[in-house]
Amino acid sequence: MEKTARKKRWVWALAFFFLGLSPAWFFLRKTSDSFPEEESKPAEYFSLIILPDTQYYSKSYPWIFKNQTEWIVRNQKKEQIVFVSHLGDITDSREVEREWQNARAALDLLEGVVPYGLCSGNHDNPVFFNQYFSFQRFQKQFWWGGHCQKASQNNYQYFSGGGMAFVILHLEYDPDQAVLDWADQILKENSEKRAIVTSHYILDYGGLRSRVGQRIFEALKDNLNLFLMLAGHIHSEAHRTDIVGGRPIHQLLADYQNLENGGNGWLRILRFFPSEDKIRVKTYSPYIDKFETDSNSQFELDYLMKS
């Protein structure tokens, strides 16, 4: 079909030549008019991908970790993926460097394709975290925001989607008051951006907030731009919404490490639909190519985006 189409274009070009028109005019016109409506049409949605605890993939199933990031790369345009957030516990054994090499090999696939951020879980050795994912590695990236003090395990990034600007913070497991004060400052300095906070341990079973999560929530909840908090650590799924000052703060828990093969590749897809003021959450495994559709795995969140 491609050869037939090319032949037809040459026939038309010769016709234009004998009519005294330049064939180049035809080709230039055809090129400049290619799919103008499709290129200018805004995306119906954009996506944020969540990688729950990958510790057992790094330890025993590195090909599943790679399968996740390979899927993200292949589907970045189709899913309009604008950012990837890791929930912590990147690795399992604090002293085994090979696990960090496996994690780095999987996450390296995202380089130059989509921005991403990581927080440090209770299983993650901060020495290796700062060796394999140091702030020096990211600080030349346009989407990198910065880090706290002289280490990398508390950091923030920028991304945009649907004509909106976002800031996302990644906080270590059980951050101390100095880190929380820093996080509060970053949210205030970026008050014009919509804010997300990822930290390893925020929610407990049934959607109850953990002691650690309560400290984070209380320290940051008064920032008017904060609307979403993401967490792992607890082997479960849950979500809750608190109304603070008339606005919702959604909190989501996802961790699948206790399932077959250290989690069977399950990840979260958060699709933002600005025209509908909805965030649609889906749980999908590219490793087994299935969706989970129970009410804790697939649900909608209301979030005002049109104004």
Q: Could you report the per-residue pLDDT of 221-257, keeping only the tens digit for each?
A: 999 999 999 999 999 999 999 999 999 999 999 999 9
Round to whole Å and give the CA distance between 118 and 94.
16
The pTM (predicted TM-score) of the whole model is 0.86
Whether 234 contacts 255, CB under 8 Å: yes
* Spans of the chain, pLDDT less than 70: 1-43, 307
CA distance 190 to 197: 13
**CA–CA dist 113, 76 (Å, integer):** 8
Q: Is there a contact between 304 and 73 (Cβ–Cβ < 8 Å)? A: no
Q: How far apart are the first and last CA of the chain?
A: 46
Query: DSSP secondary-structure letter at 147?
Result: E
Sign of CA dihedral 209, 215, 218, 223: negative
Would you say 76 and 113 are in contact if contact means Cβ atoms under 8 Å apart?
Answer: yes
Residue 214 has which token pair?
């309560």
Exposed e or buried b for every residue in 119-130, given b needs 16+ CB within 10 A? bbbebbbeebbb
What's residue 115's pLDDT?
A: 98
What is the C-alpha separation between 135 and 115, in angstroms, rounded?
14
Residue with tokens 């049109």: 306
Query: Where do we find the tokens 């290619």?
Result: 34
Which residue, among 85, 78, 83, 79, has the nearest Cα to 50 in the 3D structure? 85
212-245 residues labelled b (16+ CB within 10 A) or e (exposed): bbebbbebbeebebbbbbbbbbbebbbbbeeeee
What gap in Å lies between CA 155 and CA 265, rounded to an integer? Answer: 25
Name the nearest CA neighbour of 197 among 182, 187, 212, 206.
187
pLDDT at 306: 83
Q: What pLDDT does 29 receive?
A: 28
In order of start, what are the domains of the chain with their CATH numbers?
2-38 (no CATH), 45-302 (3.60.21.10)
Q: Distance between CA atoms of 67 and 117, rounded to whole angstroms?
A: 18
- pLDDT at position 157, please? 98
